[in-house]
Amino acid sequence: MAAVAPLLLIALLCGLLGESRSPRCDGACAEVDSDTEAVAGRGFKLGCISCKRRSEVEGSATVEWYFRPDGESDFVHIYSYNENGPTIEHNFFEDRIDWNGSKRSNDIQDASIYVLNVTFNDSGTYRCFFYRTLTYENYEYFDTVDKVVHLTVVAKATRGTASIVSEVMMYVSIIGLQVWLLIEMIYCYRKIAAAGEEALREAANAEYLAIASESKDNCAGVQVGE
């Protein structure tokens, strides 16, 4: 249930300024930070999204991933993706990384990868680089964007604060909606009841006036007869 709330609110979050895990939207692309906690023995998606600022401009990009294990000082090149496809650059990740980003396009905006059979040795800092080329009418513009993911591998999944807050907010929203609907129903009932009472009063007044008029006519007829 906790995962439902962010999906339902993504359209609203795209227009807000925030801190962690808040998306920045450009057209159909939304920049969302990667999860940072993986469970040993399971698969894990390392998210890396860089939205192109000018969606109407033709572009292409290549991607490189680097990894620095906890306690180490240097990054090692672990993965590349370009027009020729993916390449695992380090033996430690051999047969353990799958491309999980943009497909069927050289205009890469999602460079996420999926790490299989995560181990505790996978804890550390990951850097994702976009090398992007934007093609204008008379020139090309080259840009480099990098994203950083600090990954912690745990033995058992823990429930994060953001997940708890999301679920609480979802239930608060549901309760608030139910209260609002109840208030609306009471308001409509009272309005209908008041309208019914008014209609009854008008009908009674009309009937009274009709009886009074009929009585007056009868009295006038009696006087003429005399």
User: Which has the minimum average pLDDT: 12-16, 63-67, 95-99, 214-218?
Assistant: 12-16
Confidence of residue 180 (pLDDT cuts 50, 70, 90): confident
- Looking at residue 52, what is its pLDDT? 82
pTM equals 0.59
Structure-model confidence comparison of residues 226 and 46, the more confident one:
46
Structure-model confidence comparison of residues 217 and 149, the more confident one:
149
Portion of the chain with pLDDT greater than 70, in percent:
76
Angle at the Cα of 85 (from 81 to 91), degrees rounded to 5? 65
SS (H, E, C) the chain: CCCHHHHHHHHHHCCCCCCCCCCEEECCEEECCCCCEEECCCCEEECCECCCCCCCCEEEEEEEEEEEECCCCCCEEEEEEECCEEEECCHHHCCCEEECCCCCCCCCCECCEEECCCCHHHCEEEEEEEEEEEECCCCEEEEEEEEEEEEEEECCCCCCHHHHHHHHHHHHHHHHHHHHHHHHHHHHHHHHHHHHHHHHHHHHHHHHHHHHHHHHHHHHHHHHHC
CATH class of this structure's domain 28-157: mainly beta
Confidence of residue 218 (pLDDT cuts 50, 70, 90): low
Each residue's pLDDT tens digit, 29-44 = 788 888 899 999 999 9
User: Taking all residues of the chain, what is their mean pLDDT, rounded to a whole number?
Assistant: 81
Confidence of residue 26 (pLDDT cuts 50, 70, 90): very low
Confidence of residue 99 (pLDDT cuts 50, 70, 90): very high
Domain boundaries, the chain: 28-157, 159-213
